A and B are shown apart, each in its own frame.
Chain A
Amino acid sequence: MFPVCCGSFKEGLLAAAGREKIEGAQRFFIEDLLAAPKLNMTLIILLLGLGVGVLVGLLGIGGGVVLVPAMVYLLGMDQHLAQGTSLFILLPPIGLGALREYWKQGQVDLRAGILCAIGMLLGAYGGSLVALPLASRHLKGLFGCFLVVSAILLWRKAEFEGKPVAAKGESARG
């Protein structure tokens, strides 16, 4: 919007002003054009964060699994860069607001949660040592496979809700 109205304003300027002024005005116009997508990008990023946050609360996940592909495809990032940025976003306790809601309902196993936190801290470091030397292309492919596997697990989980006994035999796997 802004560059468009600016454009007509600038056309007026171009018609009225001398040669030097024209160049000055055009440069200004180009700066506007460059600034506008930046603003749009900022807006997209902010909205993306909000959307991912809703999923975090709704599904009790970290959000990285959505953030990484979103940054790769929407923001055009490299796979490694998207993953590093995602880890940065997960640094502050972004799930704290959501956790409060679950805590109020008594739906938290604190002991298991703390154990998981310690295990994940160590595991994550090991995982990063595996990922960093990989070529971006292979990492992207592996990420895709990982998404497929977690999708299947999530789906199984959804089915399992209905019949708790049938899935007992699954405990051997994993």
Chain B
Amino acid sequence: MGKSAGRDTGIFAVACLCGMASGMFGIGGGVLLVPLLALLYGFSQHRAQGTSLVALIPPTGVLALIAYAREDFVSWQTGLLLIPGVFLGGIVGGRLAEKLQPERMRQVFAGILFALGAWQAFSAWRR
């Protein structure tokens, strides 16, 4: 029982950290949550991904969104256009995940993210 409470507290703390990143960078937080659940709590890959999707069902970013909207930092039209595609694509991706080798996918994705991030940081702070 005590161990389970400790695990819960730890997961909650990890989630708060992911939430910080989510509000700061306008992302869902899953990209941090998935590897952290797996690395710190030994979740299997599929289980970490499924659990991350649960965490993304309620509108966790709603408070952050209100803060951004107050500063007029939201393009509502672009957002509305993106939503149906992301939803439909999500179903396709969920099916694909069972068939494809997710490890290979993740490594390719990690490589792309690394390059993208390095480039973005460089282009922002050059000069």
Contacts and interface: CB of A to CB of B under 8 A. Distances in A.
A59 interface: yes
Most buried by A among B8, B34, B46, B65: B65
B8 A153 contact: no
A118 B63 CA distance: 12
Given A56-B93, A124-B20, A170-B39, A61 B68 contact: no
B40 A174 contact: yes
A43 to B, nearest CB: 10
26 contacts: A46-B81, A49-B84, A52-B82, A52-B85, A53-B85, A58-B96, A61-B31, A62-B56, A65-B27, A80-B73, A83-B68, A85-B79, A87-B74, A88-B76, A99-B53, A101-B95, A116-B11, A118-B12, A119-B15, A123-B19, A123-B21, A124-B23, A143-B120, A151-B113, A156-B35, A157-B34
Contact of A96 (B19, B41, B57, B95): B57
A50 interface: yes
Contacts of A126: 16, 19-20, 23
Contacts, number: 469
If over half of B's interface residues share one DSSP class (helix, strand or loop), that class is named, otherwise mixed; here it is helix
Given A110-B54, A129-B23, 17 more contacts: A53-B86, A53-B90, A80-B71, A88-B79, A89-B86, A93-B57, A95-B90, A98-B94, A100-B91, A105-B46, A108-B47, A112-B41, A127-B25, A128-B67, A143-B117, A150-B32, A153-B35
A130 B10 CA distance: 23
A116 B38 CA distance: 14
B44 to A, nearest CB: 8
A78 B24 CA distance: 15
B19 A119 contact: yes
Given A58-B105, A141-B125, A171-B40, A97 B24 contact: no
A103 interface: yes
A20 interface: no
A105 B94 CA distance: 11
Interface residues of A, number: 109
A120 interface: yes
Contact of B54 (A78, A80, A113, A167): A113
Nearest to A102: B50
A118 B106 CA distance: 27
A87 B61 contact: yes
Nearest to A133: B71
B88 A112 contact: no
B15 A54 contact: no
A5 interface: no
B89 A148 contact: no
A61 B25 contact: no
